[in-house]
Structure 1
């Protein structure tokens, strides 16, 4: 993460404003500040703003607390709720507000993006590039430009689309050493696009040290690239999950299959790990949004639509897999659950597979005991009320009839099979992330079920 250097001298005069102090805005703002840029993050939620000013990070992301603390102390990173103050003198203003799925059709809700555009327009005092960091449907950047022109006909600005590609749990590394930085500009106006490109090249200049590629495209292409990228990765996950099911029927091993596929450079090894279905803040939302965008453009994306359906069916079916491992029913049985968040190294519960699985288990009469290293506070409002939350993994196993792995936290990999067998009432393990060695589990006398392995 240290393959670049902070800029000295003139580079430190660059100022940007980040509208939104949520996951994307906070991570991006802190990383820009680490580059040596002066960053003002605008957060209108009083509780979140108070936490940020006090040095308390309202989200879990490894390394983010130290990054925010050091740059706040250095004066490069500030927090406030005054957009006018933040925008004044900023060369670039990033919009990083939420775009949640709209109720009913799954399309992105742009009310916060549009509101931010109006507030930015009112605050502009000189030329600035208005950059969309939020994930937004195609055409949003042009709509932002219209809103600003309507609000302030005299404003001197350009718009750009700069989608984020941050993975929760490794976001800082993704920002500091990105595979690519995609920037969409209004290429119909070459002179305007050139001016905006100059500003954003200056903002991203520190990444030249690690030779991170900057790809400049049109506005629509940049906006669509984010949705296309996440939807393609979601398709890979759903594909390998279906292959895992097929492996179980045919006696094949999905991990060897995935390795064999991944050795082909055209396919790659990433996102070929079977599990209970994808979740999180991006894949479910972006696949639904892309399906909606395609429908509105009368150009259906059948693969994406099917991916959504396959994933929902998979999450719904996992409770049945657990019941089958228990002889067909979990009624009256104690189910221990390891991991609740949609993936490790995050406290994000959005669209986590644990939500539908645990609700179905509770409805079927199971007593549920659960542990997650960082996600239990976020999980409690979303899970059945009678879930018992434990202090560690071994407490979860105590007296359990079946132990289910839902999130592949590294700490779970080190659990002793013999210790689990000693603590459990009935030694049934349903490993939906394939983190354990089947031979070691069975040698300890445990009944072991995994995904896609004979």
Structure 2
């Protein structure tokens, strides 16, 4: 099938590439000429494991192309996927749909023959109906159906999620559109992936509801972690105990400094604003948003407390800047709240991240970026782990202690074992675990 994907951001690039892996003829369109030139030169603008190789393979085979020519891409397409950004709108938290509507206006006069117009972008309920209105107004003779096909991709595992998904949600009751979408996803029928057809509105809401539920699980276990610290319980034991209940499940029950990224923060805000507009405010979601924002600030307070109540004039080493490992995405990362708070408290920040350094140079200009974990901790008064990259898990702790000015570690991801920390003489703070293994501060030797 011939597929046009509008937008070469995270969702568009991953989706288009994976569709080409299915054997479809795919052309990805973007108005950014420099970006398209880079893609055609083999440069991938995002870090996503496995994506570079898959793009190159399908470019060579001819299944995947990149261009700025909208007319050439849309002409004769069986399906057009709109995969442009929907960032939070400043001031009210609603999703900014201007890019979606602009794409609809641009493709409307170019439609020829029957076409399924698919919103792959995360959009609030009602967006698909508005896209249909825009197209019909611009081209009354267009033969098309609107489909909602939300993505459920985890950054760092997007290829696996697309090729082996839990389910495919397709929002359309139109028979022709259902057939087009079934044909597009036919390769996944071989692994018996559920293909769920719903109404347009149900599909749009499913994406937001799913992300809000996962964000709620994260927030819940973070609050349970705080309670564990007060009563002497271990949050990992509690999480495992409730996670073994099949009604609850073990995923998204790992405590930390709060959720970030391109999805959960903006999607929870957009869902809440939609619920208020509809007259059915989701108070749980509103509370989740509030708790998560406050938690990021509270993490800075934990660091200050671990440093004896003040970080003024002290050097704090930060390991991990992206919102999660295996991505270069720093959007809404806890580091963007924690680090400025520490700087405002008088700290000097040195930091390292395996993939986030280019973005950090733009977003955190007042910190010193180092070339490795060990270079970062040198002469530091405290080490703070914000992102749980695998390479941080196996550090030579004796070497770390010898390099630091004071053996203070604040582990916001519970990467390390408290017993190991005690054995190496660290004053160790983690999330939701007993602190009986912590040692009093002492100067490194």
Query: Same fold judged by TM-score > 0.5?
Result: yes
- Report the CA distance between 1:381 and its aligned residue: 1.7
Does the alignment pair 1:394 with 2:374? Answer: yes
Q: Hey, what's the Cα distance between the residues in 2 that align with 1:233 and 1:379?
A: 27
Structure 1 position 380, deviation (Å): 1.8
Q: Does 2:115 match 1:128?
A: yes
- TM score, norm. by length of structure 2: 0.97
Counterpart in 2 of 1:11? none
1:374-453 matched pairs, under 5 angstroms:
374-383=355-364, 385-453=365-433
Displacement after TM superposition at 1:379 (Å): 1.4
Give, in whole Å, the separation in 2 of the partners of 1:127 and 1:83. 17
The structure 2 residue matched to 1:310, chosen from 291, 298, 323, is 291
Q: Which residue of 1 aligns with 2:168?
A: 181
For residue 142 of structure 1, the aligned residue among 119, 122, 129 is 129
Aligned partner of 2:353 in structure 1 is: 372
SS for the counterpart of 1:381 is: helix
Residues 1:40 and 2:37 are matched in the alignment: no
| Mapped partners of 1:284, 1:420: distance in 2 | 34
Q: Please state if 1:163 is matched with 2:163.
A: no
Task: Determine the C-alpha separation between the residues in 2 that align with 1:92 and 1:292.
Answer: 31
Matching residue within 320, 329, 346 for 2:327: 346
What CA distance in whole angstroms lies between the structure 2 residues aligned with 1:235 and 1:448?
A: 28
**For residues 94-243 of structure 1, what are the structure 2 equivalents within 5 Å?**
94-185=81-172, 187=173, 193-243=174-224
Residue number in structure 1 paired with 2:53: 66
Take 1:195 and 1:374, find their aligned partners in 2: how far apart are those partners? Answer: 43
Q: Deviations over 1:166-191 (max 9, x none)?
A: 00000000000000000001x3xxxx
Q: Residue 237 of structure 2: SS of its match in structure 1?
A: helix
Runs of 4+ in structure 1 deviating by more than 4 angstroms, as ranges, are none
Residues 217-268 of structure 1: per-residue CA shift (max 9 Å, x gap) = 0000000000000000000000000000000000000000000010000000
Alpha-carbon deviations, 1:382-438, whole Å to 9, x = none?
12x331111110111111110000000000000122111111110000000000111
Q: Write the distance in 2 (CA, Å) between the matches of 1:270 and 1:137.
A: 26
Count of aligned pairs: 434
Among 76, 92, 102, the residue aligned to 2:79? 92
CA distance in 2, matches of 1:442, 1:420: 14
Q: What is the CA–CA distance in structure 1 between the aligned matches of 2:70 and 2:91, rounded to whole Å?
A: 32
Q: How does 1:23-38 map to 2 (within 5 A)?
A: 23-38=10-25
| Residue matched to 2:259 | 278
Indicate the residue corresponding to 1:323 in structure 2: 304
Where does residue 443 of structure 2 map in the other structure?
none
With structure 1 as the length reference, what TM-score do the two structures score? 0.95
CA–CA distance in structure 1, aligned partners of residues 350 and 82 of structure 2: 41
Of residues 323, 330, 343 in structure 2, which corresponds to 1:362?
Answer: 343
RMSD between superposed Cα atoms in Å: 0.6
Q: Distance in 1 between matches of 2:234 and 2:298?
A: 21
* 1:250-265 correspondence runs (5 A): 250-265=231-246
SS where residue 404 of structure 1 aligns? strand
Deviations along 1:259-307, one digit per CA (max 9) or x if unpaired, are 0010000000000000000000000000000000000000010000000
Shift of 1:122: 1.4
Unaligned residue ranges in structure 2 (runs of 5+): 435-445
Give me the whole-angstrom Cα distance separating, in 2, the residues matched to 1:207 and 1:315: 39
What secondary structure does 2:346 align onto? coil
Offset at residue 149 of structure 1 (A): 0.4
